[in-house]
Amino acid sequence: MLAPTYYQLNRLKMLRRLDELETASGSARSLYIPPGSAMPEIEKILETVLEADQIPPNLAKLVTNSTTGAILFWGEQHKYLILPPFPITERRVSWGYDVDPLRSLLQREFTIALILVRLGAYAIGVFRGEKLVSSKVGTGHVHSRHKKGGSSQQRFERHREKQMEVFFQRICTHVRERLEPHIQQVDYVIYGGTRDTLLSLRKRCQFLQKVDNRTLGLLLNIRKPRQATLEAAIGEAWSSRVIHWHET
């Protein structure tokens, strides 16, 4: 019986794993699936590589839910599903552990904009590959929610809304300052922090709406946006999610 193990590998470790797969012996099949396919289509594609009784019960769902597509390496020695950090662009079925397309993707020096926001703090960075090119980190005071009722709560909420407006406008200004000089080169925009706060920012910031088509669905889990957090977050942005099946 096959059991899955879930983990992440950073860029370097994933490239090393591909080197190991490339030299593995035994028969294998490889499947590259771009994002955007419906579940029935994914199930049919998987059946071109695996027998029906070999397909793990949640495999099609994992592939369908991935916003960057998926790569399946399925052989006698190794059985992996890789959810890459950046989108697969071409469907491909091949014999053996065909690692070249994924290796090529991970070796590209994409220009990436990271925007990390929680109420009261933000960090903005532009990276070429994993090298920081430009950044801005700052804070802004926003009161926590007021739990009392009555007119005092209404006044407090109006004041809090103004604080949030100033905070988001400050972030939007700095995002534009950092991203605009690199706007033609930016391949992907990745957000981190609190989902509701980021949605509020994106609604208020017209500049960010211009790069929606380059925004990845990945949301980085960031507790405190700081310079050190920003520099560490790029490693997560480049990480691949891995599902490894093994015999129990």
Q: Would you place residue 87 in the very low, low, confident or very high pLDDT band (cuts 50, 70, 90)?
A: very high
When comparing pLDDT for 101 and 3, which is higher?
101
The segment with the largest mean pLDDT, out of 44-53, 75-84, 136-145, 215-224, is: 75-84
pLDDT at 158 over 80: no
Residue 113: the pLDDT is 97
52: number of CA atoms within 13 Å, CB side? Answer: 1
Residue 1: the pLDDT is 79
- Domains of the chain by start residue, with CATH: 2-108 (3.30.960.10), 111-237 (3.30.420.60)
Is-contact 73 94, C-beta < 8 A? no
When comparing pLDDT for 101 and 196, which is higher?
101
Rounded mean pLDDT, 69-73: 96
User: Which H helix or E strand runs over 215?
Assistant: strand 215-220
**Hey, what amino acid is at 113?**
A
Rounded mean pLDDT, 64-74: 95
pLDDT digits (tens, 9 = 90+) for 177-187: 999 999 999 99
The segment with the largest mean pLDDT, out of 47-51, 103-107, 147-151, is: 103-107
Closest CA to 114 of 198, 182, 189, 169: 189
Residue 186: the pLDDT is 96
Work out the angle at residue 22's Cα, subtended by the Cα atoms of residues 67 and 10, and round it to the nearest 5 degrees. 45
236 vs 37: CA distance, rounded Å: 25
pLDDT at 142 over 80: no
The runs of H, that is alpha helices, within the chain are 11-22, 39-47, 59-65, 100-107, 151-179, 195-204, 206-209, 227-237
When comparing pLDDT for 141 and 76, which is higher?
76
What count of other Cβ atoms lies within 10 Å of the Cβ of residue 88?
A: 21
33 vs 28: CA distance, rounded Å: 17
User: Which bin fits 193, alpha (ψ -120 to 50), beta or left (φ > 0)?
Assistant: left
pLDDT at 159 over 80: no
pLDDT at 49 over 90: no
When comparing pLDDT for 53 and 41, which is higher?
41
pLDDT at 143 over 90: no
DSSP per residue, 44-60? HHHHTTS-GGGS-TTHH
Q: Indicate the range of 19-33, 45-59, 81-95, 116-130 predicted with least confidence.
A: 45-59
Residues 6+ apart with CB under 8 A from 8: 236, 239, 240, 241, 242
Write down the pTM of the prediction.
Answer: 0.89
Residue 51: the pLDDT is 81
80 vs 240: CA distance, rounded Å: 12
